[in-house]
């Protein structure tokens, strides 16, 4: 029987349990046990992807959890943590393309043995295999071949971002970068925080791909800030692959993510006069000072390379629902978040399901109105760009 499961498939680990660095830009508190507990206890997730698991120390931690009985490998692929959470082990890899560009890709594997095999192979092409997302001296088409050879899947991470996104700064078409033969092996794509379905569906070559909205969480609070709703028979690797391929009734039912304006790279940012573009896209040079020294925004890049002036959604494309995480909402502090979580159990429940009456009862009318206005999309957003998140305006609420 098919059921809905919530999944965030791009979560980083900052440190091993012994304190060794893994993803250097991630929080020190971002360890495997802390991530697993946060995902279940506060975020309401059923499936997560760990994208640093190919780092040898982290692989050994996962294997040790299985040895101790804290986790077990599922018959359908993936790991089950304490019968509460499915973990899909993988890697975020930075490739080096023939044109000199560096791009980020995600690779996932159904078993620890396959992960170990890929980790050993990848380590030959890295300066320090213990650190995640280090530059790899191989192009994506070669990595794709190595990943699929051991039974994994491979696809673009945050595809449109200006720093390391494949469309953002490397190529106008993935098919041209990989070649037609290898492009056929790509059946899923991660949108990234500054893009949504409406934006991505300007590109014809993506019409048959399944889109994912993942958090790319570098801190515990950001886990689940974007997630997907999967229709599966069970939360396992094999069922996820069927959902990606829209096979046997399995599919992505919905994407939940930030309004792209809240993303760090939504509009073009001028590095000279420090302004975020407001003119109609594509803005490729600064309209204020004329500088060409800019960080090109995702919105502007898609307008530059898109095939169509308006999005063309294929029939299989699910709805993309905007959400504003509690941490983005003005006037909602840590104590209020704790009260909400104690009452409703998870952030997903608070943001999308809890009734007005119940939220008012828990934290009062003023906070309830902030949450419900965000749920309805009735918020004013100062657009992000150049590495700075957008902001929900409303400082007049004060800290709660």
Residue 25 and residue 52: Cα distance in Å, rounded? 12
Q: Alpha-carbon distance 303 to 280, whole Å?
A: 9
- pLDDT tens for 10-62 read 999 999 999 999 999 999 999 999 999 999 999 999 999 999 999 999 999 99
% the chain with pLDDT above 70:
98
Task: Examine the pLDDT at 295 and tell me if it is beyond 90.
Answer: yes
pLDDT of amino acid 381: 95
- List, for residues 373-383, the tens digit of each pLDDT value: 999 999 999 99
Alpha-carbon distance 203 to 308, whole Å? 7
For the residues 333-338, what does the mean pLDDT come to? Answer: 93
Is the predicted pLDDT of residue 242 greater than 90, yes or no?
yes
Mean pLDDT of the region 362-386: 94
- Give CA–CA dist 161/155, Å, rounded: 15
* Total Cβ atoms within 10 A of residue 342: 9
Residue 362 has φ and ψ, to the nearest 5°, of: -75, -45
pLDDT digits (tens, 9 = 90+) for 79-129: 999 999 999 999 999 999 999 999 999 999 999 999 999 999 999 999 999
Question: How many percent of the chain have pLDDT more than 90?
Answer: 97
Confidence label for 221 from pLDDT (cuts 50, 70 and 90): very high
All structural domains of the chain: 3-260 (3.20.20.140), 325-378 (1.10.150)
Res. 391: pLDDT tops 80 = yes
Nearest to 300 by CA among 227, 238, 384, 241: 384
Handedness of CA 134, 185, 266, 381 (dihedral sign): negative
**Given this model, what pLDDT does residue 358 score?**
97
Count of alpha carbons within 13 angstroms of residue 175, beta-carbon side: 10
Give the residue with greater pLDDT, 397 vs 339.
Answer: 339
pLDDT at residue 327 is higher than 60: yes
Beta strands in 52-202 (DSSP E): 71-73, 79-81, 85-96, 102-108, 153-156, 188-190
Q: Read off the pLDDT band of 331 (50, 70, 90).
A: confident
Provide the token pair at 381.
């957003």
| pLDDT tens per residue, range 173-214 | 999 999 999 999 999 999 999 999 999 999 999 999 999 999
**pLDDT confidence bin for 350, thresholds 50/70/90:** very high
Average pLDDT, the chain: 95
Task: Give the pLDDT band of residue 395 (cuts 50, 70, 90).
Answer: very low
Q: Mean pLDDT, to the nearest integer, of 358-367? A: 95
Residue 132 has pLDDT above 90, yes or no: yes
Helices 140-149 & 112-123 angle (0-180, nearest 10): 150
Residue 398's pLDDT is what? 38
What span, in angstroms and rounded, lies between the C-alpha atoms of 182 and 372? 45
Q: From 234, 192, 231, 242, select the one nearest 213 (Cα to Cα).
A: 192
Q: Which two tokens stand for residue 198?
A: 């409406």
At residue 397, the pLDDT reads 39
d(CA 67, CA 63) in angstroms, rounded, equals 6
Mean pLDDT calculated for residue range 63-90: 98
């Amino acid at each position: 029987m098919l059921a809905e499961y919530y999944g965030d498939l791009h979560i980083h680990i900052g440190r091993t349990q012994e304190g060794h660095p893994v993803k250097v830009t991630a929080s020190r508190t971002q360890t495997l046990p802390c991530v697993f507990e946060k995902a279940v206890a506060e975020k309401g997730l059923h499936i997560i992807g760990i994208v640093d698991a190919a780092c040898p120390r982290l692989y050994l931690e996962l294997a040790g959890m299985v040895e101790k009985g804290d986790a077990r490998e599922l018959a359908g692929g993936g790991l089950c943590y304490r019968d509460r959470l499915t973990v899909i082990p993988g890697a975020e890899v930075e490739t080096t393309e023939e044109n000199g560009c560096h791009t980020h890709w995600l690779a996932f594997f159904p078993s620890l043995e396959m992960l170990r095999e890929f980790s050993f192979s990848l380590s030959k092409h890295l300066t320090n295999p213990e650190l995640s997302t280090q530059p790899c001296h191989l192009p994506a088409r070669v990595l794709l071949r190595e990943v699929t050879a051991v039974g994994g899947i491979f696809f673009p991470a945050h595809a449109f971002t200006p720093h390391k996104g494949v469309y953002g700064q490397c190529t106008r078409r993935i098919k041209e970068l990989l070649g037609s033969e290898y492009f056929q092996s790509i059946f899923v794509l991660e949108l990234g925080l500054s893009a949504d379905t409406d934006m991505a569906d300007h590109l014809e070559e993506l019409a048959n791909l399944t889109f994912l909205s993942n958090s790319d969480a570098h801190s515990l609070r950001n886990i689940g800030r974007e997630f997907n709703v999967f229709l599966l028979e069970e939360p396992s690797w094999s069922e996820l692959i069927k959902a990606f391929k829209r096979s046997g009734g399995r599919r992505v039912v919905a994407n939940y993510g930030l309004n792209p304006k809240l993303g760090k790279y939504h509009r073009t940012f001028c590095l000279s006069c420090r302004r975020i573009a407001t003119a109609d896209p594509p803005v490729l040079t600064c309209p204020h000072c004329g500088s060409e020294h800019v960080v090109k925004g995702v919105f502007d890049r898609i307008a530059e390379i898109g095939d169509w002036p308006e999005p063309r959604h294929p029939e299989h494309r699910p709805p993309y629902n905007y959400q504003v995480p509690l941490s983005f909402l003005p006037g909602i502090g840590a104590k209020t978040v704790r009260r909400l979580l104690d009452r409703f159990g998870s952030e997903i429940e608070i943001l999308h399901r809890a009734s007005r009456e119940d939220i008012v009862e828990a934290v009062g009318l003023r906070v309830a109105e902030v949450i419900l206005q965000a749920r309805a999309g009735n918020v004013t957003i100062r657009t992000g760009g150049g590495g700075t998140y957008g902001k929900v305006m409303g400082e007049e609420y004060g800290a709660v």
